[in-house]
Amino acid sequence: MKPIRQTGLVLLLGVACMFLGTAAHAQRISSLSGVELGDLCRKESKREACGSYLAGVVDGAAWSQSFGTLMGARPATAFCLPSGIKGIQVRSLVVGWLAGHENAASQPAGRAVYQALHDNYTCPTGMAGMYVEQRAEAQNISSLPGRGLVSMCTHESGLLACDGYLAGTMDSEVWSRNYSTVEGVHTPVAFCVPKEIRGAQLRALVVGWYAGHEDALNEPAGRGIYRALHDNYPCSSTIRPIASVQSGGRGQ
């Protein structure tokens, strides 16, 4: 039994390194490529990791819109998912898109997901800039609250899903700036996580942040991650704390 357990651990660490390894750009830490994402999504044993990454990308796109607007630097709206769309539908769409776009195989997974969703769910003219906060929540495909994220990130069985979601969220903050090209450095607004940060460090940071922000445990996990990463890795000292921004975003 021991060799089997060791082999399973090696495979788990290998996939986790793709999610949270050193990347070419300083502003993203996922080294997952389009072809690797396709492989993950097609393998039944890895579909949870695939689904978590995709949920992180979509949730990240939504909160990037919300945060960027409040900071005066909202990116162009890349895609608008229909109300009620399920994660399995997004996964099937992305896998099919990757199969028909071989040139995306070597590109970063986040960029490929953005292009796939843009091709299939283009935003109607005139929607950009309207009701950003409400649209952010409507766009989410995950119902994961902060409490659920903490549980995933603190149990061995959930680490891969945790890493996938965190990587998807961070990749999304980068590609929301300019998803149509792989050239150049894409500068985020909400947070700038150093490329040398590893998965264990990131998980510990997020879990620790939640321990001091119990108010966020019942909020969407994507929002909590944005708050935690902005608090610890702000791109500019002139940007207001996201916690104060978010607290004023509702009911006012």
Q: What is the per-residue pLDDT across 149-184, written as a single tens digit (0 to 9) for each?
A: 999 999 999 999 999 999 999 999 888 877 776 665
- Residue 220: phi, psi to the nearest 5? -55, 140
Q: What is the pLDDT of residue 185?
A: 53
Higher pLDDT, 126 or 118: 118
Q: Could you tell me the two tokens for 95? A: 């896998």
Q: What is the pLDDT of residue 159?
A: 94
Measure the CA–CA gap between 222 and 149, rounded to whole angstroms: 9
Q: What is the pLDDT of residue 64?
A: 84
Q: What is the pTM of this model?
A: 0.79
Q: What is the per-residue pLDDT across 76-121, written as a single tens digit (0 to 9) for each?
A: 678 888 888 899 999 999 999 999 998 888 888 999 999 999 999 9
Residue 19: pLDDT band with limits 50, 70, 90: low
Closest CA to 191 of 121, 123, 241: 241
Q: Could you tell me the two tokens for 163? A: 């890493």
| Range scoring the smallest mean pLDDT among 29-33, 134-138, 186-190 | 134-138
Closest CA to 199 of 156, 232, 166, 157: 166
Percent of the chain exceeding pLDDT 90 equals: 45
Closest CA to 225 of 19, 15, 57: 57
